Structure 1
Amino acid sequence: MSLENYNIELDVFEGPMDLLLYFIKRDEINIYDIPIARITREYLEYLDLMQTLNLRVAGEFIAMASTLMQIKARMLLPRFSNPEDENVEDPRSELVRKLVEYQQFKELGEELRQLEGKSIGHFPRRPDLSQIDTSVDAEEVLQKVTLFDILAAFKKVLDRLPEGPAEHQVNKLEVSIKEQTAYIYSHFIKKSKIRFSELAGGIQKRIVLIVTFLAILEMIRTQQIRVYQEGVFDDFTLEKVES
């Protein structure tokens, strides 16, 4: 059995611009003065993590990686002072322009969603109250968790585990997604919610942690669990969805 058998696709999987804006927001970076070397390194680390988990990485993510490395290379080139060429364009300018433009479209989309909500309030329909799930906490539903948030929490736990042996070894996979799904469900016997850090706390092997994370993604996709965060960039909580 191999991890190559599992390809996970989620609706919350966003584009490369979202990942760059995630870094900028998380680290409170000035969007007009992006530390390109650091951002490129982190972007490639997340890209490698996605490929390790066999998440389907769209071509646009690869294209952005190429763009970042090209900008980084141009930033490393020496700049010769030339009195006749005072307005040499910053290699980051085009990327910054696209990020600002993309961010503006996202904010505009959010404003339109809010206007839609207000319009629905002014022109109410007759709701089918029998279809409302009263067990769902509205604050948890409104707290959106992106795949990048989940990956960030996973990376923190993964970084705590020791690196594997330097030499390459071919071993039979010791654990399956089915087994780790059962492992996750075993934590819901006494309670309906559990933090990811608590779930991963007893796991000592990197391969087991990776398969456990894949099991979580599969359970999200099949709506067996829901996830949310209590704070921005915080650990995420898993909650069992009652059938």
Structure 2
Amino acid sequence: MNQINKKDRLDQLPDVKINDFEGPLDLLLHLIKDAEMDIYDIQISKITSQYLAYLHVSQELKLDIAGEYLVMAATLMRIKSKMLLPTEFSPETEGDENDDPRTDLVNQLIEYQKFQQAARQLKVQENERQAYYTREEAAVPKGMQLAHLAPGLTIEALQQAFQKVLVKQENAQPIHRTVTEDQLSIGDQTKLIKKILAHHPQGIAFEELFQQNYSIPKVVVTFMAMLELVKKKQLTFQQESELGSIKLFNLGD
């Protein structure tokens, strides 16, 4: 007889087990959705019966049941018993939602739903991000020579100066900002650099060419424009002393 009852309960329940859920709230939400109930008006008697049926089947299948599932079972039984008890009518408490013993449970389920939705959105973003490949920072090739560097100035020193500018610009950006695509070109930045250097015949400090409102992409494009001018022998870098400030000088057209 017990074997028949066990089989009947298994046939009445969907083909899922306690192990398929992340916790008692997850199981409750599944039962509510499967029964097409309004989460704000849970048929607590029906849900409690279904919930307990899952626990009984899991026990008969000798599956481990976490204590939190048993705590929820006790909570459902308590709510069910309160709803079965007659309540005294009071004009002062008429329509008071706090008298509904399901209120706390409904609030928990709604909050859990919000976390589930947020987790799904984060998962989508994670999958989208995995479709991108971030190239690792490339080291400066050994033995590389850059024209028009003053004696003592190395590629590494120039690279360090650029990294300092990047950090400074990143720290200067507001925490909350709207991301927009800058319409940049190396050609435009080379013209701007040549115009600035034309007004500074005595040279200008490397970091002064990066204005405070420059975005990170604009900083990168500006640096590439500098290297392009060096390549064309229209600009040179100089460093008066080791670890000293790097200056840019115009070499003419």
- TM-score bracket, normalised by the shorter chain, equals 0.3 to 0.5
TM-score (norm 1): 0.45
Of structures 1 and 2, the one scoring higher in RCO (CA 8 A, sep 6+) is 1
TM-score (norm 2): 0.44
